[in-house]
Every structure is written in C-alpha cells, then in structure tokens.
Structure 1
C-alpha cells in the first residue's frame, strides 16, 4: 500500500549559532611556541560543503591546508559552521566584537545586506596589487555581480557548470511496460502514471512513484521548463524584466504538478525530501524517473545499479510543453562570495590567499595531489577513486575561488569514469538552458526583502502542489509578493536593465 499524503508540510526553522559552531579554532599551542618567526595569520569562515575529514584530520590540520600555508607563508585558521542555518550563523559572527578576516557565503541576499550596512571592505586596490590570478581567471560578468557603485565588495567563486538538472529514467521499466522514451509533457505524464500504477519493479506491491522531487521544490526545473518558467529567474516581457515566480506560466506549472500529486504519481512525501532521502528512494528502486543532478550518475543512480543489476538508466529529452517550450534553469555565474569585514586589518593577506587558490593551487585543489590521487597516462587522467573520495575535503578550500577550465573539467570528469557520462550530461544541459536575463549584482531591495519573499514563495507553491491550498491562492501570492517588496525589487532590476553596456 502506498504511503498516505501528509496533511501538512514541515518547515524547519534554522537554529541560532552555537558557541562551538562560531568560535575560531587555533593551531596547536606548541606550533606557536616553536615557530622561528611570526607569520601572518588570517581567520576564515567557510562552507564545509558537507565534506568529512579522514581520521586524525580536521579543517585546520590536514595536508591541503598545510600545502596552502607553506606556499603562501601564512597561517590560516578555518571555521566551518554547521550547514543548518549557515547564513544565520554568519550573521552572528558578523555582529561579534571581532569578526574574522574572510567569510564565504553562497547567498546573494546576505552579501548585499551587508553591503547596504557598509560592513564590508572595498577590495579594488587590494585586487589590483595582489590579485593577478584573480583578475586573469575570473570573468567580467562575475566581477560585475560583486561590484556596487564601482566598489568590489567580494571576490567571487565562479560556477563551473551552467546548469545542473537533467532527466534520467529507468529504461528497464520502460521496456517491461512496453513504453517508449517520452518527449511531450503528455507522454511524460503517461509514463510516470504507468511507473506509479503498473508495478514496474514486479514485486506485486504498488509501492513505486512516477516522480519525486525535493523539499522547497528542488529538482522541478525540467518540468517547469515545459511551461516556460523557472524558479528565481527574470525574463523579458515587452521590453521589461519580470519575475518568473509571478508569471501565468508558473501558475500553469504548479497546476500540472498538483495534478500529478492528485493522481498519486508524485511522491507525497516531497515536502520532506532532503537530498539523502530522495537519493535513498532512487537507490532502493522506488522512483524510476526524476530530474537528476548531472553528477547523480556517479552517486544515486550508480547505487541503484549496484542494488539492482537489472536497472538501466538513460537520459531523456526535456519534456516539451503545450506551447512547444522546454528547458532547464541556468545557474548564476557566481557560486559564492568571499567578503572581508570592514573591521578586519588583513584584507591584503586575504586577497593574496585567494589569489594563490585561484592560481597555482587550482589544479591541486581540484584534482588532488599528483601520484596520490591521480596520474596522467597518454593524455588522460587516471584517478584513484578511493583516494579521490578520501581527499575530497580539499574542495572546501578550492571552492572558495573556483574558476572555469573546460579542458581540465572534461579530463577530470572522464577520469572519474566515462561510463558515468558526466561531461555528456553537462553538454546536454548546456544545450537546453533557459537564460536568466538578470545577471547584475543583488539589488539593495533584495537584501531587504529576498529572504521573506523566498519563504513566501516556497510555502505557497508547496501548499498548492500538495492540495493544501487551491490554485487560486497563486493570485493572492502574486499580490502579496509585489506588496512585500517584490515591486521594489522589480524597479531596481529594471533600473539595471536600462543601463547601457551591461
């Protein structure tokens, strides 16, 4: 019997920063006592990316940080706040009496909020003096995203990929049920309905679903695209930019997703699906079609194959909607923002540190130590997957200033296993992007209103899909969004849009 639909969705409040999560670590006392000369010290707060360290190591004691310190002549103290409520913890850190020298955030609203407060150090002069690699490797579009009134307030980390979602489906289930790979949204609906109702796994129990998505409407991009909309994007209409979340196309998409929910095609637990929960359902054979991340062929899909050797997964075309539309969202050029609090006296050292990561250290932090993690044979990378996984924590440091090197990306992804089709997945995504027309820096009104507007959108859309609110609530949402700061944001976005040479 299928799981019954939950009556309500849970939205978990973020926790306040604990003292353990926000305190600054220090090196072993004996290291300071035996140092022949004092070296520059910088304190940084970074995102752990969910990475774990091998036994006996931590963020401040490991070979990759030692490599960075040796080559920069600095001592680097690293704090990794828990991921839950990460930006809330950054808020607490910023208001402490002695903030660190560098904080990293992926949240543009957080960034612009502290720009508005005049709490961040302008970095133009430091970048000119100490950031040759940063200037050479970070594209102008990314610098534009962190520049406000001519002042650069962050060093951006660049998104290596232009989009992330691609549809994968169980070909063995299609074959068993006599179905062809779908193309139109109607064909997708028929396939997903069959996956939910016709016992594709053959266990005699109706315990599979045609589609599953993540909480907060994650992994819906491929289906939203069939209606010409994406989450958190801006599109041109009649010479002006309009927010995608309030367009009639979004209302159509929500109506469609609700219909899947009503027919028991969509996993009713979706409001509670975190990535590990969704991944487990994929691996256990409960879901046969979903909007995957491009790297899932190495993780959840591969685990599905290991659990069931008969499982055959194939990529599908993006569904084409009633008006011939299709596509997937495009990521922002900026992956994250590295900011220096105004109270810090070490902006120069921070820029030198990040310049090393963007330059000489980039390949090492992306690939790992040569001969330990990888070797090159006949122009191809041969990667030791056990060491690659063991040393994956190096990405915490490398992601601070990620840069784009297409040739290296292809070699690295093929080196992880050509059978996973990682580079092919990215190419398929690149060919189907729906471009977000707003690619300027976050506006002041975004800093004031974006958090509450995002919460309003996520909760409203989830209620509509799950049938807790009628589709007519979308119209009330549009009015509330505009009145609660959306109109102010729209005005600022269009002020940017009208600027020449953007």
Structure 2
C-alpha cells in the first residue's frame, strides 16, 4: 500500500486538470486573495492538525466540542477578495472562522492560500508531498486517485449520524445520485459539491399577447410548437401589416447560450448536446450512448428543416450570436424560443419596457407523443469535500456543512434571517461579501427565497418574510400593478406563470435526463473532440437550412464513428462500468 500511495501521489503532481468548477454559493463569483497572507503557512505549521485525544466526541449535528479541535483545511478562493471583506477580516480570520470557533469549537487553519486558478496545481503538489490536510476540496480525478489509494476517510456512519435532515435531503436529492457519485464500493468517501440541476433545464418561452391575438392554444405538444412557430412568422402577430417577425429562435451555435435548441430536441426525446459537449445517457441496455447519433436526433432535425423551409426560422440564424437574437426579442421580432428560466430578466424585461402590452409565459417542455418530455442537464457536481483517512474527527466536515446550510437556508430550509444574510453572506449595500470566505460551502439545490415569496403571494400575507424577501414581494406587486420596469419580478414570482415553478417541476416529476458521463476526458476525446464537434455543428446546420437532405444524418453517424466516436463510446462505457 505504501508503494501504491507514493506512486499515486507522484502521479497527481503531473495530472492536468480543469480549474473551472466549484463556483461558490450558487453561482455567485467568489473572489480570492491573489496573494496569500505570508503568515498562512506559518500559522498552519505551528498548529497540529487535530487536538489531543482528550477532545470529547459530541453527538449533535451542531454541538460544540467540549475541548476545541484544530482542523487544517484547503479550499479554493477566487482573486480580488480583499476589497470584499469587512475591515480587518482576512481569509484566515473572518466572521466565519470566528463564529465556527465560537459555536462549534473548531479552529480552522489553512496550510496555504492561493488564487482560484492556481488551486489545482498547488493541491497536486501538496498531495504529491504526502502531507494531506484534514479536510480538502478536490476534483473528480483527485477524488478517484485518492480513493483508489485508500487515503480517504469513510464518512458513511458520521454522515448518517451527524448530518441534519436538511443536508441529508438536499445532498440525497434526485434519488441519491449525488451521494452515489461520492461513494466507492458502498462507502461514502466524500460529500458532493452540488448545484441545482433544474437551473439549466430549458423551458419554452411564448409571447402570450401574440398567441392570444392569433387565437392559438397554449402549446401542449410538439405539433403545437410547430404550428405556433409558423403562425408567428407568417400571420403578422404584431399587427403592423408586415411579415417582419420570426417563428422559432435559433442562434449560430444551436446549443448552449441564448437561445438553446436543446429543449426542442428534448421534445422528441433526443439528447444531442450539453453546452457544446457530448451528451451521454443509458439507453436502457446498461450502456451509455451518445445522443447526437441516435434516431431521435434525426427526427428533431427533420422538424427543424421543415420549419426553416416554411420560413418559420430566421434565414440569417447561422450568422447570429446570442446577443443579436436577444435584440430580436427585445425589439419585438421574436416571440418563441427555448431558453433559461431566468429569461424574465433578459431579454423579456427589456421587451416589456419597449412594449408594455407584451406578455410572456414559460411552458414545460411539450412532447411529440404521449410520453412526457424530459429536460437534459449536465451532471451538477463540481467537486468533492473529503477527509483524510485516520483524521480523528471526520464528523467535523459534516458539522461544517450543517453550519453553512443553517446560516444560508435556516434550520428548516425556509430562508436565513436578515442578520445571518448580512453577517455571513452579503451586506445590505452589497459591498461586503463574507460568503466568499466560508471555509466549507455547498451551493445546493434549495431556493427558499423564491418559494417563500410565492407562498406569501398565494396567502396575500408578506408578514412572515424577512427584509430581503419582502423587497422582492413589493417589487412583484409593482410589476403586477403595471410597472413595466418590474415586469420581471412579476413574472418570476406570480404563482400562475412563474418559470421557477415550471423548471422545478422537472425534478418533482422525474423529468430530468442527466448527462451520465462526468469523468475526465478519455484518450480519444483528447485527440478527436474538436473534429467531432465541428462535424456535428456543420452537419446539423446544413440539414436545418436544407442544404442537404435529412438522410445526410446517416452519413454523419458513419463519419462520427470513423473520426473516433466508436472508440470514445468504448472508453466511456469502460468508465461507466466502474462509476455507474
């Protein structure tokens, strides 16, 4: 085992890894000191990694240790953090570290602190040295290598004993896929750093005043979508006597960004792309298949070709980026697209300011048949919190996660207090961002603000809302009463049309398809991905525009395999066999 561990750690030194994930606090950028305090490593070196054996074990999820314990911890912080902290605070000493010491009896020390973009390389050096911190944030490859070497603590029992119901519910959501991803051979070797998977699930946005003017029903099926697209392009929905509006919106990149045609493909049970990357899913045989080469994708492409020939897709879409399509919506030229739930902010808010008569609504993905359409999403896991094997207090990680959740969401997940929000996360004026220096954090899937405000609207009683939530409630009322500048607030929170409820229903109704491959690039991916992406984009665009027949798709599948797709499929399934 010693040889295996040393070989592993040396291997980590040369592992090339992406440092793109792990955005703190639900997508909010988390700046970090680009220059660590010179005393950081000195302070850590002077402190033992754990207290003496006299530190008493405790039973509660948030019970304070009778004798304080010291925990060495590594976390990533982004640059330019110093101007976002309260006067006198640093990464090493701040409201989080002081409160954790006071409330939990845990003294946090950092062996080193570097800027976010340097974290992975610096951590690899540390791992190669064999000097592991007690708790650390790692990425998928590091997690696998450390677990293979037997260097991680089994958290199964301490998670079961110490995690609060709120933490268990959130990390265990979506039938436990997150916790399974952080488990090896039935052992919980880490806690998953998760985000809300429904945040990127696409919805169908429709300009409702146009729909009503043309006397069309709300979209329930893909045939309805096709009919609406043709009518919006050809039947003068804006009433100006000109054929100057478009049907279904596309941009030159097709997938990802604004708009995103993935939702259209999902309506035909096709899962062709994931933010520019390949989408892999289990076809029911126990094997992963690439969605871009499946028959359902050919069906969806055929329907897009039909729309283009009917003039229901902008002839210039192949030259337009997301910004240009956004302007088309804002200027009243587009009223049908697949996009993000938050499009009520942009471009819809601008469209309503420009035309106060404009009304929009987000719909759940219509289906081409009786089977409900499922939204395709990337695997929403960006890292793992782990504990080194033989650390005396593995439950400390669980307590730190409990503490973060309570401060962020409240004990019952219904929202934090104004004091907690301003003290631990963001000051009222937004100048201080203490959330950036939370020692342990998980973005999670919860959204207490939206659900609390909507509940207050249903009850017509905002008395139970905290100050921040009450502001959103008041802005909703302004939008409801006709203030065009707050239409987005009305759209976001109105119980009858809120896109928040629409996208959240995907999870509740088991209507998500998660990209099942979340491992590192395979050998053939490294050499062939660019060529395969180019092949897909060029072929799909030519098919949509009618430059080639729909049968060109069959040639695409053949070429995809020849360019390495068949080999990648083998490699992906070899990974899947040990990571499902």
Range of TM-score over shorter length: 0.5 to 0.7
5 Å-filtered alignment, 1:398-413, equals: 400-403=441-444, 410-411=451-452
TM-score, normalization: structure 2?
A: 0.59
CA offset digits 1:138-159 (Å, max 9, x no partner): 3253222123455655430234
Q: What SS is found at the alignment partner of 1:141?
A: helix
Task: Please tell me whether residue 147 in structure 1 is matched to residue 183 in structure 2.
Answer: yes
Task: Please tell me whether residue 355 in structure 1 is matched to residue 398 in structure 2.
Answer: yes
Task: Please tell me whether residue 212 in structure 1 is matched to residue 240 in structure 2.
Answer: no
- Counterpart for residue 133 of structure 1: 163
Displacement of 1:454 in angstroms is 5.8
CA offset digits 1:448-491 (Å, max 9, x no partner): 45566765554333222321884332332245454332123235
5 Å-filtered alignment, 1:175-214, equals: 175-197=212-234, 200-201=237-238, 206=244, 208=246, 210-212=248-250
Instruction: Determine which of 433, 456, 459 is the counterpart of 2:534.
Output: 459
Structure 1 stretch displaced more, 201-210 or 483-492:
201-210
Displacement of 1:236 in angstroms is 3.2
Q: How many Å separate the matches in 1 of 2:115 and 2:320?
A: 26
Q: Is the 1:235–1:244 Cα contact (8 Å) retained in structure 2? A: no
5 Å-filtered alignment, 1:303-342, equals: 303-321=350-368, 323-329=369-375, 331=377, 334-338=380-384
5 Å-filtered alignment, 1:38-57, equals: 42-45=73-76, 56-57=84-85
- Counterpart for residue 59 of structure 2: none
Q: Is the 1:372–1:387 Cα contact (8 Å) retained in structure 2? A: no
- Counterpart for residue 435 of structure 2: 394
Displacement of 1:171 in angstroms is 0.8
Q: Which has the larger radius of gyration?
A: 2
- Counterpart for residue 464 of structure 2: none
Q: What SS is found at the alignment partner of 2:266?
A: helix
Extract unaligned runs of 5+ from structure 2: 1-16, 20-29, 48-69, 101-105, 273-278, 456-468, 477-489, 493-497
Displacement of 1:313 in angstroms is 0.6
- Counterpart for residue 250 of structure 1: 297
Task: Please tell me whether residue 174 in structure 1 is matched to residue 211 in structure 2.
Answer: yes
Do the aligned partners of residues 412 and 490 (structure 1) sit closer, same or farther apart at CA in structure 2, a change above 3 Å counting?
farther
CA offset digits 1:149-172 (Å, max 9, x no partner): 556554302344446221121112
Q: How many Å separate the matches in 1 of 2:127 and 2:527?
A: 29
Q: Is the 2:152–2:388 Cα contact (8 Å) retained in structure 1? A: no
Do the aligned partners of residues 62 and 185 (structure 1) sit closer, same or farther apart at CA in structure 2, a change above 3 Å counting?
farther
- Counterpart for residue 429 of structure 1: 506
Q: How many Å separate the matches in 2 of 1:185 and 1:359?
A: 44
- Counterpart for residue 558 of structure 2: 475
Q: How many Å separate the matches in 2 of 1:259 and 1:64?
A: 60
Q: Is the 1:236–1:437 Cα contact (8 Å) retained in structure 2? A: no
Task: Please tell me whether residue 288 in structure 1 is matched to residue 335 in structure 2.
Answer: yes
Q: How many Å separate the matches in 2 of 1:398 and 1:189?
A: 50
Q: How many Å separate the matches in 1 of 2:438 and 2:325?
A: 28
TM-score, normalization: structure 1?
A: 0.67
Q: How many Å separate the matches in 1 of 2:574 and 2:528?
A: 16
